[in-house]
Amino acid sequence: MRSGKIIFMPLGGAQEVGASCYFLKLGENNLLLDCGCGSTHGIRFAPKFNALLQTPYLQDFHQVSQIFLSHAHLDHAAALPDFLELNERAAVYMTDLTREILSVQLEERFDKIEKNISSVAFLQKIPLPNLRISFHQAGHIPGAMMTLINFRGKNILYTGDYSTFPTQLVGAALLPEVKIDILILCGLHARHPNYRRFGDSDSALKKILRKIYYALRRGKSVYCQVTQISKGVELITLINKFLPQAEIFIDERVMKIVHRFENLHIPIMREQNHPLSAFPRAPCVFLSTKPPPPRSGMEILNGDFSLHDDFAATVEFVRRLNPKTCVVVHSPPDKFFHTGTTLEQVLINDPDSRTSFIFPNTCVPFEL
Ligand SMILES: [Zn+2]
Ligand SMILES: [Zn+2]
């Protein structure tokens, strides 16, 4: 008889952000959910692929036949070329938009993996041996998808990074209308009870906008460094909307992705937006993925912000889906507050919640 066991093991990105890569064994099917890289103090780290061969579940990397890539952020996608060196046959599923953004993110490394990619669309269903799989809009950034897998009558939903609110560039997540048995949740703020997103007076995006506004009013230029190129595009859209007079100069890498978006009919640029060729006169905004030039006299701004559900929205999301099991990954502990309150502790007191929680550790397999 064929095995119906469900085994899950994070290879990275468990109780941390970076190198998100989750091994999921569904009977005979071996899948990877995402394949990203992380970095600590500027040193890149990849998922621990080799740990898989030390388990009874895999003897050879070629036994992994499918990879589902939720979105183009590097912490979910940058180790794809590394894994495809170990297994050149694996099929990689992602949306067209993710493919476009990824081609800019990975630069020449993208050429090596392109032949493995199959484009999928939201609500498309693909039949694989013993599995039925469909894809759903996840919000967060353009192209981001959730993956829903039906295995032996059980519905397993992998969220990837998601948002239940619309952002400047993409609508809110659209959830599948089926009962979810197992939820694999990228719960960035599941352990951050004090974190609230945009709309709150101290959200990161509002702070960035406020700083830009006051600097420009004082006649100064602002150098805004972004960690992810797609976040650069998000910021351009936001500045265009709330500070329509601001002149923005955009670096080459961010500009590349702007053009990809516009080719896919997502308009970004306005008259006040220019490619960064020379440093023009103040006041203006520079948007770049590179560090600022030394002694430029500009205001330096960290352009990082979160496109994730905050704590309250995370609780609401899980309450609404009410899965039997919720595996929480991509979930760093709270650096600033040690209240200890987690998503689990809120829902444990909710009489309507049937969910039991697992906060797994990297390289520790368990049966679901
Ligand atoms: Zn992301
Ligand atoms: Zn992420």
| Mean of per-residue pLDDT scores for the chain | 90
Ligand sitting nearest the alpha carbon of 72: 1
Q: Within the chain, where are the H helices?
A: 74-77, 80-86, 96-106, 109-113, 204-217, 229-242, 252-263, 311-321, 343-347
Residue closest to 48 by CA, chosen among 4, 18, 88:
18
Least confident of 194-198, 248-252, 265-269, 360-364: 194-198
Q: What are φ and ψ of residue 126, in 5° steps?
A: -125, 130
Range from 18-22, 269-273, 278-282 that averages highest in pLDDT: 18-22
Ligand sitting nearest the alpha carbon of 141: 1
State the angle between helix axes of 252-263 and 229-242 in degrees (0 to 180), rounded to the nearest 10: 80
Residue closest to 311 by CA, chosen among 283, 353, 339:
339
Helix (H, G, I), strand (E, B) or coil at 281: coil
Mean pLDDT computed over 127-148 = 93
* 51 pLDDT above the threshold of 50: yes
**Ligand 1: centre distance to CA 161 (Å):** 5
How far is it, in rounded angstroms, from Cα 359 to Cα 322? 17
- Residue 302 binned pLDDT confidence (cut-offs 50, 70, 90): confident
Range from 88-92, 124-128, 288-292 that averages highest in pLDDT: 88-92
How far is it, in rounded angstroms, from Cα 106 to Cα 109? 5
- In which region does residue 113 sit, left (phi positive, over 0), alpha (psi from -120 to 50) or beta (all else)? alpha
How far is it, in rounded angstroms, from Cα 364 to Cα 350? 29
Proportion of the chain in helix, strand, coil states, percent, rounded to 5? 25, 25, 50
How far is it, in rounded angstroms, from Cα 178 to Cα 132? 13
Q: Name the residue ranges covered by the structural domains of the chain.
A: 6-195+307-367, 204-302
**Ligand 2: centre distance to CA 239 (Å):** 24
**Ligand 1: centre distance to CA 32 (Å):** 17
- In which region does residue 2 sit, left (phi positive, over 0), alpha (psi from -120 to 50) or beta (all else)? beta
Mean pLDDT computed over 275-296 = 82
Which pLDDT belongs to residue 356?
A: 96
Which pLDDT belongs to residue 198?
A: 59
Instruction: Tell whether domain 6-195+307-367 is in CATH 3.60.15.10.
Output: yes
What is the tens place of the pLDDT at every residue in 65-113? 999 999 999 999 999 999 999 999 999 999 999 998 899 889 899 999 9
Residue closest to 143 by CA, chosen among 114, 164, 122, 116:
122
**Ligand 1: centre distance to CA 139 (Å):** 10
Least confident of 5-19, 192-206, 281-295: 192-206
- Residue 355 binned pLDDT confidence (cut-offs 50, 70, 90): very high
Q: Contact, 151 vs 27, CB < 8 A?
A: yes
What is the tens place of the pLDDT at every residue in 28-47? 999 999 999 998 888 899 99
DSSP state of 198: B
How far is it, in rounded angstroms, from Cα 314 to Cα 213? 31
For residue 159 the two structure tokens come to 């969220």
**Ligand 1: centre distance to CA 3 (Å):** 34
Ligand sitting nearest the alpha carbon of 21: 2
**Ligand 2: centre distance to CA 217 (Å):** 35
Q: Which residues contact 349 (CB under 8 A, 6 or more apart)?
A: none
Whether the model clears a pTM of 0.85, i.e. scores above it, the answer is yes
**Ligand 1: centre distance to CA 295 (Å):** 32
- Rg (the chain; Cα; Å): 21
Amino acid letter, residue 303: G
Mean pLDDT computed over 138-142 = 92
Ligand sitting nearest the alpha carbon of 34: 2
Q: Is the dihedral of CA 28, 152, 145, 303 positive or negative?
A: negative
* 346 pLDDT above the threshold of 70: yes
Count how many Cα atoms sit within 13 Å of the Cα of residue 172 in the half-sphere of its side chain.
Answer: 9
Mean pLDDT computed over 220-227 = 90
Ligand sitting nearest the alpha carbon of 188: 2
- Residue 201 binned pLDDT confidence (cut-offs 50, 70, 90): very low
Q: Contact, 303 vs 225, CB < 8 A?
A: yes
- Residue 279 binned pLDDT confidence (cut-offs 50, 70, 90): low
What proportion of the chain, given as a percentage, has pLDDT over 70?
96
Ligand sitting nearest the alpha carbon of 163: 1
Residue 249: its H or E element = strand 248-250
For residue 297 the two structure tokens come to 């006299």
